[in-house]
Amino acid sequence: MESGSGNCRGFLTPARGRAFDEGFGFRKNEGMSPAELKESIHAVTPAHLKERLSGLGHPAYRADQVLEWVYSKRVDGFAAMTNLPAALRASLEEHFVFHALETVRVLGAEDITRKYLFRLSDGAMVESVLIPASPALYGEASDRRTLCVSTQVGCAYGCKFCASGLDGWSRNLTPGEIVGQILQAEKQSGERVSNLVFMGMGEPLANFKNLSLALEILNAPWGVGIGARRITISTSGLAPQIRELAEQSMQVRLAVSLHGARNEVRQQIMPVNRKYPLEDLLDACEYYAERKKQRITFEYILIREVNDTLEDAKALVEVARRVDAKVNCIPYNKVEGLDWVRPEESRQDAFMAVLKRAGVTATIRREKGHDIAAACGQLRRQTMAPAVAE
Ligand code: SAH
Ligand code: SF4
């Protein structure tokens, strides 16, 4: 199958990182400017906003009006909320902030994959990728406009093949910054995003609390209104958080970056496998599938002479059967500075044939936009380079 969709990765590079911190990353107060101490208006639920407004002496029902301006009318500031009393607008101005992401660069054009480089309020940058119509990948319906979003600046998990982990982890994105990527991409493109994949920079489940609030806002009818089944969370395999996500009522889809169906192969390229080996991961996957009554997807990057033998394919058949998972194979996207390469097509075909013969539901993504995508990797790297030079 040919498509430019499915994996917007391999070309996202991080800012220089600080040490790993498992914290949930609501920003600390030290050193923050007064503007940053304000709460992001893109990170509040109606219940929370009602409580805040009541506390500030305003009627609670105004919260619904405020959120209507934010999400239905998509205004950029409180001044535009013309049906609200001036005193309320002043109060909102004082306590809340529109943390709009700043678009630094856009690559691509209408009808093809577009990549946005966004600057966050502290100067860190993340990329989001807008992928136009393509056949269904994760959802049931055809994927219309799918946005691939980031959840962290950098990544602490250090998978050996991935650009995001190269320079470590800087920080978690706030809920407002996660939601902000969708709002900004929609504003920039003039189109509504119908599907979301959390496959940008970072490990979504390591930013669980912020991710959960962002998901609530993205899914809510009063918010961005994207159906849960049109949202896919991709994880490198944090077993406890997979279970935690399974407990939540929202029917989001789960994609697990497997990339190795045997421990000895997987832990060679994914250090997280030492913490959560395949047995634990597969148990958690089974739990998720069972709780949500859903089939999960295993992502499997094909890397030449690392995980692409027929023996690997047979092992993948076993684990896919065990969890009744779909498999999405992705020929590796070259990352500058890393030696890994994709197998030649005949080898990819032989690998796929093993899966198909065994009756596993499997697709392979041969991305047309490989070169454009690679150029996009340079986009962030080039733009970041002066800022991160030591
Ligand atoms: N941290 C999460 C989500 C972001 S990565 C995770 O690991 O799942 C999204 C997907 O892109 C993962 O399957 C990841 O393994 C894959 N990926 C990373 N680098 C890649 C590359 N160079 N080529 C192809 N896919 C890549
Ligand atoms: Fe890259 Fe995901 Fe691994 Fe992080 S967890 S290094 S984003 S593949």
Per-residue pLDDT reduced to its tens digit, 54-104: 999 999 999 999 999 999 999 999 999 999 999 999 999 999 999 789 999
Output the residue whose Cα is nearest ligand 1's atom 22: 10
Indicate the pLDDT class of residue 240, thresholds 50, 70 and 90.
very high
d(CA 262, CA 174): 35
What's the CATH code, domain 26-97?
A: 1.10.150.530
Q: Looking at the CA of 235, which ligand is closest?
A: 1
d(CA 184, CA 101): 7
Active site residues: 127, 376
Mean pLDDT across the chain, nearest whole number? 86
With 50 as the cut, is the pLDDT of residue 17 above it?
no
Average pLDDT rounded to a whole number, residues 118-147: 78
Would the CB of 299 count as within 6 Å of ligand 1? yes
Task: Find the 26 Cα to ligand 2 centroid distance in Å.
Answer: 21
Would the CB of 128 count as within 6 Å of ligand 1? no
Give the number of residues written for the chain: 390
State percent of the chain over pLDDT 70: 81
Per-residue pLDDT reduced to its tens digit, 354-365: 999 999 999 998
With 60 as the cut, is the pLDDT of residue 186 above it?
yes
Output the residue whose Cα is nearest ligand 1's atom 21: 10
Task: Find the 17 Cα to ligand 2 centroid distance in Å.
Answer: 14
Average pLDDT rounded to a whole number, residues 155-180: 94
CATH 1.10.150.530 in the chain, residues? Answer: 26-97
* Domain 102-389, CATH homologous superfamily name and number: Aldolase class I (3.20.20.70)
d(CA 219, CA 277): 32
Task: Find the 154 Cα to ligand 2 centroid distance in Å.
Answer: 9
Would the CB of 234 count as within 6 Å of ligand 1? yes
CATH 3.20.20.70 in the chain, residues? Answer: 102-389
Task: Find the 151 Cα to ligand 2 centroid distance in Å.
Answer: 11
Note the pLDDT of residue 138: 57
Three-class SS state of 186: helix
Among 320, 383, 381, 316, smallest CA distance to 350 is for 316
Segment among 227-231, 235-239, 369-373 with least mean pLDDT: 369-373
Residue with tokens 């929370």: 48
